[in-house]
Amino acid sequence: MSHSPSQDASLQLEQGWHCSHLYYSFDRGALAQMTSNEKLEGARQFAEALDPAHSGAPVRLQSSVVSGHKADFGLMLLDPDPLVIDAVHQRLMASLLGPALAPTYSFISVTEISEYVPDVAQYGQRLVEEGETAESPSYQAKLKAYEGRLAAMNRQRLTPEFPPWPSTCFYPMNKKRDVGENWFLLPKQQRNRLMAEHGRTGMTFGGRVTQLITVSLGFDDWEWGVTLWAKNPEYLKDIVYRMRFDEASARYAQFGPFYVSYVAPAETILRHCRLVE
């Protein structure tokens, strides 16, 4: 009997993909009750469930070893169909290792093009506000360069590729709705200005850190999820520290738990967590 997930087109987004961050710990007591053969077969099923090339796997599947007590390993999954994503979780829990897996955290979101990403005309207006003269050679060059890369940037926001970097960090966040500091009551122009400043800070980490913002309004307890990948773990600390001085963050941001992990295939996770030799 087939257990493949639904391919119902009505579950797919008009643009972008569904995204899940899932975290698990191994129950050592439950593992101790398993026979060697059960552990061996369970490890095989575990690796198969987390194989990005497995038939029925989401279009993006990244696994990682998590630092600290919050979890032993984490998954980041993206696909047009949310049930294709959830099927990975169900395969893990139905495997022989399932009784020894304790889900510790999940975050459900979708990819989007933020309302603060300017189109070409808006970018041109921003250049003028920053001191450029419309129709000047410098203005024209910057506008043409932005127009040339905008499609690729939006494609990466909606259907992202994972960068080939080993260190990653995920955290959820909200914008404040406090009296006197309510992000959602600010004029759009002011929010655009604050986010533009925030974006300029992030761009200073180009070549060292890649960021993906997913939206969770209506999907989870927080409003956005932030995923960072870095060439070195130190850059994760550096970018979060620097960006907290921007007004959009310092005044209006609220942060949830941080999960720092290191990209690794299933076999490496099993060895690292001492389930196999």
List, in order of start, the domains of the chain with CATH numbers: 9-111+263-272 (3.30.70.1030)
Paired with 106 in beta bridges are 22
- The pLDDT value given to residue 7: 66
What CA–CA distance (Å, rounded) separates 218 from 32?
40
pLDDT tens per residue across span 6-63:
567 899 999 999 999 999 999 999 999 999 999 999 999 999 999 999 989 999 999 9
CA 15/CA 40 separation, integer angstroms: 41
Contacts of residue 118, defined as CB under 8 A and 6 or more positions apart, other chains included, come to 125, 126, 192, 196
pLDDT, residue 4, reads 46
Helices marked H in the chain — which ranges?
28-32, 36-49, 82-94, 120-129, 137-158, 188-203, 233-243, 247-250, 266-272
Residue 1 has pLDDT above 70, yes or no: no
> Catalytic residues, which ones?
171
Query: Is it the case that residue 229 has pLDDT exceeding 90?
Result: yes
Mean pLDDT computed over 130-159: 91
Q: Which residue has the higher pLDDT, 131 or 78?
A: 78
Q: Which of 67-76, 124-133, 199-208 has the lowest mean pLDDT?
A: 124-133
pLDDT of 6: 54
Is pLDDT of 131 > 50? yes
Share the mean pLDDT of the chain. Answer: 94
pTM reported for the whole predicted model: 0.92
The predicted pLDDT at position 100 comes to 98
Q: What is the pLDDT of residue 261?
A: 98
Q: Partners of 62 in the beta sheet?
A: 76
